[in-house]
Structure 1
Amino acid sequence: MSKKHNKAQKLIDSSKKYPLDEAIKLLKKTSYARFDETVEIHFNLQETGLKGEVSLPHGIGKELRVVVADDKVLDKIEQGTIDFDVLIASPSFMPRLVKFAKVLGPKGLMPNPKTGTISDKPEEAAKKFKGGALRYKSEAKYPLLHQAVGKLSFADKNLIENIESLMNAVGVKNIKNAYLSATMSPSIQLSIVGSS
């Protein structure tokens, strides 16, 4: 570990669980990177297989590239160009996407009703995703969930609102413990009211 990381680690009491507002202030204080770090939250959950969708009020600081499947998009995929983060399709368009399942599936881009990317109204679904909706999913074999919740440059209030939105979507009762970190910072354990 670097000297800067060790110095930052000394500012954090690893035996303490910090309230969310205090943890965010401490996270900003221990940041030493020269770029706008991504703030992440890590949950130890009660069980595996937890997934869902949440709309963070302030986004995560990254603009999602959302497209609705059409002939133009299919041509691009066929040529090997994937210039989107979310692909939305109508149920009637799905048979035409099947031949691209081996390309889109492993990247998590194949439209799926469980993730809300297959919709009778694809334009409305696209607006929802562009508006800050994101999918979360725990690890397959372990009850862990890692999710970006914003950038270190966000106002404390905005980070708190994003984190609380995610916690409410996951369900506080499903969270054993939570840790907050930035791209290059030590993690800070959070005290969560109502968790088991």
Structure 2
Amino acid sequence: MKKNTKKAKFLNNLMPNKKIFEIEEGIELLKKMAISKFNESIDASINLGINPKKPDQNIKNSIVLPFGTGKTIKLAVFTTGENINIAKKLGAEYVGLHDLVEQIKEKKIKFDIAIASTDTMKIVNELGPILGPRGLMPNPKLGTVTDNIENAIKNAKYGQINYKNDKNGIVHTTIGKINFPNKDIQENLNALLTSLKKLRPLNLKGEYIKKVTISTTMSLGINIDFNNIT
């Protein structure tokens, strides 16, 4: 507990009195806060002025960040035929169909993203009760149900993020690692916000993006002035 108290005091002492930071100074402050021995992830939380109870106002999308996330992504790829060889060559950790479905049912494997070729979805749908609650069900809107398995795997391995709002209308997602160059972190955040802006619901009145906060795995949240971000 003493260590936690010391760290909390350290982080609080670092935080200036000002409430909102320009993106450049926000990233600099974030790096000062990252004192853990491991390479902390950088997360972005975007508060949206949507009503999550209205289906036509919910936000869900995927993008490939310009500089990736810095995470090692484990893939499960449901496919057949030549696509099996393609998936294995591209480094997918788990590849198959019926055997892969059984492994997941028996909870023998863990992965971060599931990709499925279109012709396998009739079988993959059996996993809905398992993958759905974990946010891992392949989805054509996210590019994870596709006939282009090669492209989907490359995107996922390089730095594709899938994001959606939670029940409070907030989007939470990773935008990099603390050891990324400042410019790369900024451009990843720019890409996320640009993607979000394109999804503004047509019937939404008032402010859409209300607040942008960045933080590391262990740091305090820093509010960013997003008005000057592309």
Q: Please tell me the TM-score bracket, short chain as reference.
A: 0.7 to 0.9
Q: Which runs of 5+ in 2 are unaligned?
A: 53-57, 79-95, 199-206
| 8 Å contact kept, 1:14–1:189 | no
Number of matched pairs: 194
- Residue 195 of structure 2 aligns to which amino acid in structure 1? A
What SS does the aligned partner of 2:103 have? Answer: helix
Find the counterpart in structure 2 of residue 22 from structure 1: 25
Find the counterpart in structure 2 of residue 175 from structure 1: 209
| 8 Å contact kept, 1:40–1:146 | yes
Moved over 3 A (4+): none
Whole-Å Cα distance in 1 between the matches of residues 156 and 10 of structure 2?
39
CA drift of 1:97 comes to 1.7
Identity of aligned residues (%): 34
Whole-Å Cα distance in 2 between the matches of residues 116 and 193 of structure 1?
30
What SS does the aligned partner of 1:179 have? Answer: strand
CA drift of 1:108 comes to 1.9
| 8 Å contact kept, 2:70–2:159 | no
| 8 Å contact kept, 1:14–1:188 | no
Cα deviations by residue, 1:49-99 (Å, 9 ceiling, x for unpaired): 222111111211112122321334234224432332222112221112232
Whole-Å Cα distance in 1 between the matches of residues 33 and 151 of structure 2?
41
Find the counterpart in structure 1 of residue 67 from structure 2: 58
TM-score, normalised via structure 2 length: 0.76
Whole-Å Cα distance in 1 between the matches of residues 138 and 33 of structure 2?
40
TM-score, normalised via structure 1 length: 0.88
Q: Which runs of 5+ in 1 are unaligned?
A: none
CA drift of 1:18 comes to 0.7
Find the counterpart in structure 2 of residue 84 from structure 1: 111
CA drift of 1:4 comes to 2.2
Whole-Å Cα distance in 2 between the matches of residues 187 and 80 of structure 1?
35
- Larger deviation: 83-92 or 150-159? 83-92
Find the counterpart in structure 2 of residue 40 from structure 1: 43
- Residue 62 of structure 1 aligns to which amino acid in structure 2? K
RMSD: 2.1
In the alignment, which of 117, 122, 132 is matched to residue 159 of structure 2?
132
- Larger deviation: 168-177 or 125-134? 168-177
CA drift of 1:31 comes to 2.5
Whole-Å Cα distance in 2 between the matches of residues 101 and 4 of structure 1?
42
Find the counterpart in structure 2 of residue 166 from structure 1: 192
Whole-Å Cα distance in 1 between the matches of residues 33 and 148 of structure 2?
45
Whole-Å Cα distance in 2 between the matches of residues 118 and 97 of structure 1?
10
Find the counterpart in structure 2 of residue 122 from structure 1: 149
- Residue 167 of structure 1 aligns to which amino acid in structure 2? L
